[in-house]
């Protein structure tokens, strides 16, 4: 099942995305995340009972982040070996973690501006995990049982702010630097998140292409590892890292940082396409 959050007549509504179109559903994303399988079964019943006349093309909706208010947004850096190499870092022995905030989130089709005085805005196509159950010290074997679904993410990064100090936070968590969407694909439709094609496009040109099977730390491991130290709750988001092809990885003389008027697209296999405009 594909679930989105949309603005309809200035109100936020839960939307079910089907092959025949999109329509508003009863309840909220927060409620569905809290109720888990029971909530999903009710939504499936709504799909079966829906009248064709209620459905609208996806393009008619203003899409919001599919999880509008997650409790936590935890991101993983340096999780693909080629990306580590292009950035001239060392292969990490433990996941490199940092965070973003709710104010960082924007949905599909949003326009994002470089923060403050930054002049080095970069893209990072990523798979994002949406947690569906409270996870505390879970095993790697059981980790995926705690997942609600998956979505596309773009870990936009202001590189000059990111490396201004040893802490990455400023260049990663500024307003608008966490586009996600366009919707969540529930976990039952993604049997193996550790084997998904991932692509990133800049103005229609392919700039990133890899597979999540190239991650240093798998989805299962990341959930298990993080839950040892930080309790994960339904709706929490995990950005799992980006493959090679970012601007920072290019020769300094060839780097062309993102500028107003550009368009970015992230396409993880089976999860639709997330589009972001640079303003």
**Bridge partner residues of 12 (DSSP):** 7
Low-confidence ranges of the chain (pLDDT < 70): 49-55
Tokens linked to 259 = 């500028």
**The domain made up of 73-278 is a member of CATH 3.90.850.10:** yes
74, β-bridge pairs: 99, 238
In which order are the strands placed within the sheet that holds 205-211?
111-112, 274-278, 263-268, 197-202, 205-211
Q: Residue 52: what pLDDT?
A: 53
pLDDT at 18: 85
C-alpha–C-alpha distance, residues 50 and 21, integer Å: 11
Give the model's pLDDT for residue 33: 94
In the chain, domain spans: 2-64, 73-278
Q: What is the reported pTM?
A: 0.96
- Look at residue 47 in the predicted model and tell me its pLDDT: 74
pLDDT one-digit tens code per residue, 84-121: 999 999 999 999 999 999 999 999 999 999 999 999 99
Reference 183, options 151, 148, 154; nearest CA is 151
pLDDT at position 131 = 98
């Amino acid at each position: 099942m594909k679930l989105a959050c949309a603005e309809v007549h200035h109100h936020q509504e839960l939307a079910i995305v089907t092959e025949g179109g999109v329509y508003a559903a009863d309840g909220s994303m927060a409620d569905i995340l809290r109720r888990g399988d029971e909530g999903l079964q009710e939504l499936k019943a709504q799909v079966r009972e829906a009248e064709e006349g209620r459905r609208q093309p996806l393009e008619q909706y203003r899409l919001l982040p599919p999880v509008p208010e997650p409790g936590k947004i935890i991101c993983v850096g340096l999780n693909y070996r080629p990306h580590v190499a292009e950035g001239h870092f060392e292969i990490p022995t433990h996941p490199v973690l940092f965070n973003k905030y709710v104010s960082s989130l924007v949905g599909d089709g949003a326009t994002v501006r470089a923060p403050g005085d930054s002049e080095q805005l970069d893209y990072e196509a990523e798979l994002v995990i949406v947690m569906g159950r409270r996870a505390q010290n879970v095993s790697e074997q059981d980790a995926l049982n705690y997942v609600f679904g998956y979505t596309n993410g773009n870990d936009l990064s202001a590189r000059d702010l990111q490396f201004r100090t040893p802490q990455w936070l400023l260049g990663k968590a500024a307003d608008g630097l966490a586009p996600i969407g366009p919707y969540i694909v529930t976990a039952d439709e993604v049997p193996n998140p550790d084997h998904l094609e991932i692509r990133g496009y800049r103005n229609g040109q392919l700039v990133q292409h890899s597979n999540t099977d190239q991650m240093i730390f798998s989805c299962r491991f990341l959930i298990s590892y993080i839950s040892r130290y930080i309790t994960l709750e339904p709706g929490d988001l995990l950005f799992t890292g980006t493959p090679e092809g970012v601007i920072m990885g290019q020769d300094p003389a060839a780097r062309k940082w993102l500028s107003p008027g550009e368009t970015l697209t992230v396409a993880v296999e089976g999860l639709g396409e997330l589009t972001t405009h640079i303003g």
